[in-house]
Amino acid sequence: MTPDLEPLAIDKHTQFLGREIGRLSYGCWRFPGTPQSDIARKIDAAIEIGANLIDTAAVYGRGEAETMLGALIGERPSLRDDIVLVTKGGITPPVPYNSAKAHLVESCDASLERLKCDRIDVFLVHRPDYLTGHAEVADALDTLVKSGKARAVGVSNYTLEQTRALQHFLDVPLVATQPEISALRIDTLFDGTLDHAHAAQLLPMAWSPLAGGSLVTGKDPKGAGDRFNNLISALDRVAAENDATRDCVALAWLMAHPAGIVPIVGTQSPERIRAAAGAFEIKMNRRDWYDILEASLGERMP
């Protein structure tokens, strides 16, 4: 077999903050409105497939998602040691953003109370606040780490230059970045976000890795037309060759990138959470990977 036809390596685990985490993570943004009694089944299914990095945010259900996860942690205190806990602050509807130092510290305090724990593993600034300077945001994040309220910090939805600017003022290193990435949303491959994450050793956590579910349903969410249909066809071809589902191919495509992308799975079905582990069984070669990229771009690579 020629090197170009050999399956791309997709590791099931990686090292983060000195411990092993799965290459898939689980997101709690859809918890609000679902029964509390189902939360344990979802988290247990995530841990079962190695998705022990659990992501939430203060804004999800205006605190409800954190409260629901915190209720489970309160019932099962040992769960806290089984997971790497990520939460985010800074979105304040209808303002919409506030990353002033006092607000970020207060947001973290409130998250800790709702989550029933004394430390967040990674606290992220959810979106850039254009009215708060990077120096003040950095001061807030440094304060959270030095006080022990957050073990580490990172950013979400930040551009490459915004990330660099914030790091310039920080005493501690950023450890994670959380942009939107999917086979349909591929900006980060070209705008330097993933290159910087790779070089600076930031964990890239991909939110909406299945493009809001459109890569599961096959329904075009943005009027992309032929481009979307061609992408679905490319994913389906690889899925058929692997006797797998389209969503597993889409997740595998992300995880094959050398920056070490960790997709955040958000389904509310324990069965589908477990099924996501099928992504690790996908045999995708270099040509397959570029076929998917070219379909998403709508043109051949130069």
Q: What is the pLDDT of residues 233-269, one digit of tens each?
A: 999 999 999 999 999 999 999 999 999 999 999 999 9
Q: Is 236 part of a structural domain of the chain?
A: no
Q: Is 298 part of a structural domain of the chain?
A: no
Q: How many domains does the chain have?
A: 1
pLDDT recorded at residue 222: 72
Out of 26, 60, 97, 158, pick the active-site residue. Answer: 60
Q: How far apart are CA 208 and CA 77, in angstroms?
A: 29
Q: Is 248 part of a structural domain of the chain?
A: no
In the chain, where do the E strands start and end?
A: 13-16, 19-22, 25-27, 53-55, 84-89, 120-125, 150-156, 174-178, 203-206, 262-265
Q: Is 293 part of a structural domain of the chain?
A: no
Answer yes or no: 97 catalytic: no
Q: What is the CATH number of the domain that holds 53?
A: 3.20.20.100
Query: Read out DSSP for 234-282?
Result: HHHHHHHHTT--HHHHHHHHHHTSTT--EEEE--S-HHHHHHGGGGGG-
Query: What pTM, to 2 d.p., does this model score?
Result: 0.95
Q: Is 243 part of a structural domain of the chain?
A: no
Over the stretch 50-89, which tens digit does the pLDDT of each residue have?
Answer: 999 999 999 999 999 999 999 999 999 999 999 999 999 9
Residue 120 tokens read as 């967040």
Q: Is 35 part of a structural domain of the chain?
A: yes
Between helix 286-297 and helix 226-241 the angle, nearest 10°, is 160
3-state secondary structure of 74: helix
Q: Is 7 part of a structural domain of the chain?
A: no
User: pLDDT grade, residue 220 (50/70/90)?
Assistant: confident
Q: Is 77 part of a structural domain of the chain?
A: yes
% of the chain with per-residue pLDDT over 90: 94
Domain ranges, residue 136: 12-221+256-280
